[in-house]
C-alpha cells in the first residue's frame, strides 16, 4: 500500500463536480453563491516544483480536496517549512467569502487549530499559507493501533478545544470529521480545513427538525427540483459537509451553528469509540433519513465504553440543536467527568464525610461516627500502596537519570501530606465529637479538608501516568499542594467568603473539582491539557455567575497562559480575574492574582510600570486580608525581585530576594532554589563574584540533594556556577562543569532547549579567554542558532548571544561582522528596554571599544558618552562605570580633549584599583596614565 504523504493539511477527498461520488467521505462543496454549478475546470493553476507563490517557494504537492490543492513550501523570510493551499474559487463573491474567512482564521491563534500565516492572490488564484504539520490524520491515528477509550477521549478533547476556539471568534467549521484533524508527531491535535467555515453570525435562526411523517409528506418523490433528500444530495450547490457527519439542520439546508459542529464532533467520537458510525443507510437518502429521524443504536456487543461516556456523546447527537450541550466548552467538561477517576477527584464526599447531595450537615456524620481514629481510611482510595507503586513504576520506567531519585522524593512528600491530612481530620473530628467545635465550624473544616483531598487525588492521577515533563516538575508539584494547616485555622475558616447559593453549590463544587485537575496538570507541565480544561471550567463558571468561582477559574486559565508565554492574553485574563475577586471580596485571591501580574509585567510584557503598580495592589490586598501569610509574601517578594533585577535596580532586587529566602527555607519550599539562583545572578551582575559563586555552589548542592544530579534544574545550576567561575578566571573548573552540563542537557532539557544556548555561550567565553577564538566562534554560532530556534529572534537572550558573537569576531579581527552583531544587539535591546538599562549600556560600551579599534574616534566617543550617561542613570556598580569611563578617556585623548580625558582616567583608576591593586584592569589604566604623563 502506498503511504499517504505526511504533513498534509487537507482531506484526500476528490473534488465533487456535477454529481456526488459514491464515497461517503467526500466533502460537498458550496455553490450557493449563485450562477449554477461550478464548472468542472474551476481549479487552481497547476504548479511545478520550485515555482514561487508570493515569498514562498513551492516544494511538493501534498494533496487535493474539494476546496483546493495543497503544496509544501518554504518561507524564505522566516526560514521555515509551511503548507500552502491554492483555493478553487472562480466567482468574485466566493473569493471574497474565502478571503474574509481565511483572514478571520489568521487572527485565531490556538494550539489546536492549524495556524494561518498569510492570505493572498497570485495570477487570479487565492492562496492561504499555513502551518505545516508532520504527522497523521486523526483517522489514520485511530487506525494505526487499538486505542483505549480514555486515549481516544483525550485526543478528541484536544480537537474539541480547537473547535471551541473557533466558536469563540464566531466561526463554525461545518465539516468536522477525523480527516480534518491532524495529530502531529508531538502528540497534539490540530483542527484544519476550515474551507467550509462560516461566521456564526451569518445565520443563526433556530431550526426545528420536522417529524418523519411531515418530512415524508413534504419530500415525497415528485420530480420536483426542490426535493431535499435527492436534489440536495445529487447536485452541487446547496449542501455543505460530509454526509455521515452532517447534522440534521445541515441536511435540511438550515443555518448552522456551533451546535452543528458539536453534532459532527460527536458522530466522529462515537465512531472512534465503537468503531462504527451511529447512523447508517444503504443510500444517501437512507443515511440522511437515519440522521434526521433514526434512534441512536444500542452499543455494539463487547464494546468497552462506559455508560456515562455514551450518555455524554448521545446528548451531543440530539436531533434538535437546543437539546445538545450548550457549548463545546460544556461538552468538553462533561467528557472530563470520568466517575471512576472522580472517585478520587471529587473526594467521595458521601463515603468520606457522610455529606449527602442535598448538603446535609457534616455534624450528622460526626454524631453517627463511632470513632475519629479511622481518618487514614478516608484517603485509602486516593493514596495507597497501588498508587505508590504506579508512581515508582512510571518514574523509573522513563529512563531518566533522576527518575528513581525523584520517585523517592515524591512518594515521601505525599506520604507526609497524607499523614498531615489524616491528623488534621482526626483532630477536627475529636474536637467536634467532644463539643469543642460547633456544627458550622465542623462543616467548614470538612469542606476545607475535602478540597485538599481533591487536590491530592488530582495530582496522584497525573503522576501515575507521568512522562518526562511531569517527572521533571513532580517534586515541585508535590511540595506545592495546598497546606492542610489552613483547615485548622478557625479564624481563617470563619472569615471565609460566603459560600455560593444552595442551588449552585453542587455545580460550583464540580467546577472546583475540575480546577483541581487543572492545577495538577499545570504544576506537572501538561499545559495543553490544562488549558483545555481551564477554558471549559471558566466557561461553566461564567454560566453559573458566582463571582468567586469565576475569579478562581480565570486565575487558573491566566496562569496557564503565562506558563506557555502568551503574556498578553494572560495579562487580560488575570486583570478580569482580579476585578472579579474584588467583587467577591476575596482579598487573598486578589493578592495571588496581582502577584502573578507583577511577574507578567516585569518578565512577560516588559511593562515594568504596570508590574510595580500590581505589586502595590498585592501588598494592599495582603494587608487588608488581616492574616499573616508568609508564603504569599515570599512569592510577591520573589516576583518583585525579578522585576527589579530586570530594571537594573540590583540593590533593591537583592533586598527582595534576601527577605524571601529565609521564609521559603523555613517552610521547606522548593521555590527557595529559584530565589537562591536569582540572588546569585544579581550578585554576579554587581560583579560580586565571590558571593555569587558561593550561592551558586549552595544551589547546586541543594538541587542535587532534592532533585537529583540529572534533573534539569540541577543541570542549569551547574551552568550558572560555571558561568560565574569564568569571571574569576577559574576556567578549568568552569570548563569541566560546562562540559558535564552540556553532556546532560539533551536528556535533562531536550536536544535544543534554549538553556543550552547559554551553555555554549559560556563555553565560548572560556575558549576566548584561552585564546581559541575560532572555537569560541563555533560555540557562539551554535548558541545563536539554538536561541533563535527556541525563543525567536527578538528575545533578550538572543541579544546577549549577539553580543558574545560580536566580541568573538572582534577578537578574530572580523571588525565589520562584529559591528553588525553589536548593532543588531543594540537595536533589539533598545526595543526591549526603551529607558536606560545596564544591558543597553553594555552594548554601547562594546560598540565604543570596537570603534576605537577601527580608529573612528568620533563614533567611539559618541557610544562611550551614551554608555557612561546610561550607567550613571541606572546607578550601576563602580567597576562597570569605571571601564566605560576608561574607554571614553581613550577616545577623548585621541580627539585632543586631553584635560577631560585625564579626569576620566583618574576616576577610572580610583574605582578599578579600589578592591585589588594587582587587578589586570587596575594595572592597565595605571600604565596608560603613566605613559601619558611621561609624554607630558
Active-site residue (options: 175, 179, 193, 522): 175
Side-chain-facing half-sphere of 888: CA atoms under 13 Å: 28
Integer Cα distance of 511 and 81 in angstroms: 41
CA dist list (Å): 891 to 10, 63, 156: 63, 64, 66
Q: CA-CA distance, 59 to 82, in Å (whole number)? A: 10
Helical axes 149-168 vs 328-336, angle rounded to 10°: 160
User: What is the longest distance spanned by two Cα atoms in the chain?
Assistant: 115
DSSP labels for 332-376?
HHHHH--HHHHHHHT--HHHHH---TT---HHHHHHH-S-S--GG
Is 175 catalytic? The answer is: yes
Rounded Cα gap, residues 695 and 703, in angstroms: 12
CB 328 within 8 A of CB 263: no
What distance in Å separates the CA atoms of residue 737 and residue 121, rounded to the nearest whole number?
A: 55
* Contact partners, residue 922, CB within 8 Å, separation at least 6: 909, 912, 913, 916
Q: What's the CA gap between 479 and 669, in Å, rounded?
A: 7
679/653 Cα distance (integer angstroms):
8
The b-or-e profile of 523-549 (16+ CB within 10 A means b, else e) is: bbbbbbbbbbbbbbbbbbbeebebbbb
CB 98 within 8 A of CB 85: no
CB 167 within 8 A of CB 192: no
d(CA 813, CA 322): 74
Give the C-alpha separation, 881 to 874, whole Å.
Answer: 10
* Cell digits of residue 441: 465550624
DSSP string, 277-334: -S---SSHHHHHHHHHHPPPPPPPTT----HHHHHHHHHHT-SSGGGS-S-HHHHHHH
Q: If DSSP states are collapsed to H, E and C, what string results for 741-755?
A: HHHHHHHHHCCCCHH
Phi, psi of 802 (to 5 degrees): -60, -40
Among all residues, which ones are annotated catalytic?
Answer: 175
Amino acid at each position: 500500500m502506498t503511504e499517504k504523504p505526511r504533513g498534509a493539511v487537507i482531506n484526500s477527498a476528490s473534488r465533487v463536480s456535477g454529481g456526488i461520488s459514491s464515497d461517503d467521505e467526500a466533502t460537498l462543496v458550496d455553490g450557493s453563491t449563485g450562477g449554477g454549478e461550478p464548472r468542472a475546470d474551476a481549479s487552481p493553476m497547476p504548479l511545478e516544483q520550485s515555482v514561487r507563490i508570493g515569498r514562498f517557494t513551492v516544494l511538493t504537492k501534498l494533496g487535493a480536496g474539494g476546496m483546493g490543492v495543497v503544496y509544501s513550501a518554504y518561507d524564505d523570510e522566516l526560514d521555515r517549512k509551511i503548507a500552502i493551499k491554492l483555493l478553487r474559487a472562480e466567482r468574485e463573491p466566493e473569493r471574497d467569502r474565502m478571503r474574509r474567512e481565511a483572514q478571520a482564521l489568521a487572527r485565531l491563534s490556538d494550539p489546536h487549530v492549524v495556524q494561518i500565516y498569510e492570505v493572498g492572490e497570485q495570477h487570479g488564484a487565492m492562496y492561504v499559507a499555513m502551518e505545516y504539520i508532520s504527522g497523521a490524520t486523526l483517522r489514520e491515528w485511530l487506525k494505526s493501533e487499538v486505542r483505549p477509550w480514555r486515549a481516544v477521549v483525550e485526543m478528541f478533547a484536544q480537537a474539541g478545544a480547537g473547535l471551541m476556539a473557533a466558536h469563540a471568534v464566531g466561526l463554525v467549521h461545518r465539516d468536522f470529521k477525523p480527516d480534518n484533524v491532524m495529530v502531529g508527531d508531538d502528540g497534539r491535535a490540530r483542527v484544519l480545513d476550515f474551507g467550509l467555515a462560516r461566521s456564526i453570525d451569518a445565520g443563526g435562526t433556530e431550526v426545528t427538525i420536522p417529524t418523519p411523517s411531515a418530512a415524508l409528506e413534504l419530500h415525497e418523490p415528485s420530480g420536483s427540483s426542490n426535493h431535499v433528500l435527492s436534489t440536495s444530495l445529487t447536485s452541487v450547490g446547496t449542501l455543505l459537509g460530509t454526509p455521515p457527519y452532517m447534522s440534521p439542520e445541515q441536511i435540511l439546508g438550515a443555518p448552522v451553528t456551533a451546535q452543528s459542529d458539536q453534532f459532527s464532533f460527536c458522530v466522529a467520537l462515537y465512531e472512534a469509540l465503537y468503531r462504527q458510525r451511529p447512523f447508517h443507510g444503504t443510500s444517501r437518502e437512507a443515511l440522511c433519513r437515519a440522521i434526521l429521524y433514526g434512534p441512536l443504536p444500542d452499543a455494539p456487543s463487547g464494546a468497552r465504553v462506559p455508560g456515562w461516556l455514551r450518555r455524554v456523546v448521545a446528548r451531543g447527537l440530539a436531533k434538535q440543536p437546543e437539546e445538545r450541550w450548550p457549548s463545546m466548552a460544556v461538552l468538553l467538561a462533561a467528557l472530563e467527568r470520568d466517575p471512576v477517576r472522580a472517585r478520587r477527584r471529587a473526594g467521595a464526599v458521601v463515603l468520606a464525610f457522610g455529606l449527602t447531595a442535598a448538603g446535609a450537615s457534616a455534624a450528622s456524620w460526626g454524631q453517627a461516627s463511632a470513632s475519629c481514629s479511622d481518618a487514614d481510611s478516608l484517603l485509602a482510595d486516593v493514596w495507597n500502596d497501588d498508587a505508590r507503586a504506579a508512581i515508582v513504576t512510571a518514574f523509573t520506567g522513563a529512563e531518566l537519570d533522576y527518575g528513581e531519585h525523584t520517585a523517592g522524593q515524591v512518594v515521601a512528600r505525599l506520604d507526609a501530606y497524607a499523614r498531615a491530612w489524616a491528623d488534621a481530620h482526626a483532630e477536627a473530628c475529636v474536637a467536634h465529637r467532644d463539643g469543642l467545635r460547633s456544627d458550622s465550624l465542623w462543616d467548614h473544616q470538612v469542606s476545607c479538608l475535602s478540597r485538599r483531598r481533591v487536590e491530592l487525588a488530582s495530582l496522584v492521577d497525573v503522576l501515575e501516568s507521568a512522562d518526562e515533563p511531569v517527572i521533571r516538575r513532580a517534586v515541585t508539584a508535590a511540595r506545592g499542594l495546598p497546606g492542610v494547616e489552613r483547615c485548622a485555622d478557625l479564624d481563617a475558616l470563619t472569615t471565609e467568603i460566603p459560600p455560593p447559593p444552595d442551588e449552585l453549590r453542587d455545580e460550583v463544587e464540580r467546577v472546583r473539582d475540575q480546577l483541581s485537575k487543572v492545577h495538577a496538570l499545570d504544576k506537572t507541565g501538561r499545559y495543553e491539557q490544562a488549558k483545555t480544561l481551564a477554558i471549559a471550567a471558566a466557561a461553566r463558571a461564567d454560566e453559573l455567575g458566582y463571582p468567586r468561582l469565576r475569579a478562581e477559574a480565570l486565575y487558573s486559565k491566566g496562569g496557564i497562559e503565562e506558563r506557555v508565554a502568551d503574556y498578553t492574553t494572560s495579562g487580560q485574563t488575570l486583570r478580569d480575574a482580579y476585578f472579579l475577586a474584588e467583587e467577591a471580596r476575596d482579598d487573598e485571591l486578589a493578592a495571588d492574582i496581582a502577584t502573578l501580574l507583577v511577574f507578567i509585567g516585569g518578565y512577560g510584557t516588559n511593562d515594568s510600570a504596570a508590574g510595580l503598580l500590581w505589586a502595590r495592589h498585592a501588598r494592599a490586598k495582603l494587608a487588608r486580608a488581616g492574616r499573616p501569610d508568609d508564603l504569599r509574601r515570599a512569592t510577591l517578594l520573589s516576583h518583585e525581585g525579578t522585576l527589579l533585577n530586570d530594571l537594573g535596580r540590583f540593590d533593591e532586587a537583592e533586598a527582595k530576594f534576601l527577605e524571601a529566602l529565609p521564609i521559603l527555607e523555613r517552610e521547606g519550599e522548593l521555590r527557595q532554589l529559584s530565589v537562591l539562583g536569582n540572588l546569585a545572578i544579581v550578585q554576579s551582575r554587581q560583579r560580586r563574584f565571590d558571593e555569587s559563586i558561593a550561592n551558586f555552589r549552595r544551589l547546586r548542592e541543594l538541587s542535587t540533594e532534592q532533585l537529583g544530579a540529572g534533573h534539569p534544574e540541577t543541570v542549569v545550576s551547574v551552568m550558572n556556577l560555571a558561568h560565574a567561575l569564568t569571571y574569576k578566571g577559574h576556567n578549568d573548573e568552569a570548563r569541566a562543569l560546562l562540559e558535564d552540563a552540556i553532556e546532560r542537557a539533551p536528556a535533562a532539557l531536550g536536544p535544543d532547549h534554549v538553556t543550552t544556548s547559554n551553555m555554549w555561550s559560556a563555553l565560548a567565553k572560556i575558549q576566548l579567554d584561552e585564546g581559541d577564538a575560532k572555537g569560541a566562534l563555533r560555540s557562539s554560532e551554535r548558541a545563536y542558532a539554538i536561541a533563535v530556534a527556541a525563543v525567536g529572534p527578538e528575545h533578550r537572550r538572543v541579544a546577549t548571544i549577539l553580543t558574545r558573537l560580536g566580541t568573538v569576531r572582534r577578537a578574530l579581527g572580523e571588525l565589520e561582522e562584529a559591528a553588525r552583531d553589536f548593532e543588531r544587539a543594540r537595536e533589539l535591546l533598545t526595543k526591549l528596554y526603551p529607558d536606560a538599562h545596564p544591558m543597553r549600556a553594555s552594548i554601547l560600551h562594546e560598540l565604543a571599544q570596537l570603534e576605537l579599534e577601527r580608529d573612528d574616534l568620533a563614533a567611539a566617543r559618541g557610544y562611550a558618552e551614551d554608555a557612561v550617561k546610561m550607567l550613571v542613570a541606572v546607578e550601576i556598580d563602580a567597576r562597570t562605570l569605571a571601564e566605560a569611563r576608561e574607554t571614553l578617556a581613550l577616545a577623548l585623548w585621541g580627539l585632543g580633549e586631553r584635560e577631560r580625558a585625564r579626569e576620566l582616567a583618574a576616576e577610572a583608576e580610583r574605582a578599578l584599583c579600589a578592591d585589588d591593586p594587582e587587578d589586570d584592569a587596575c594595572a592597565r589604566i595605571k600604565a596608560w596614565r603613566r605613559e601619558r604623563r611621561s609624554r607630558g
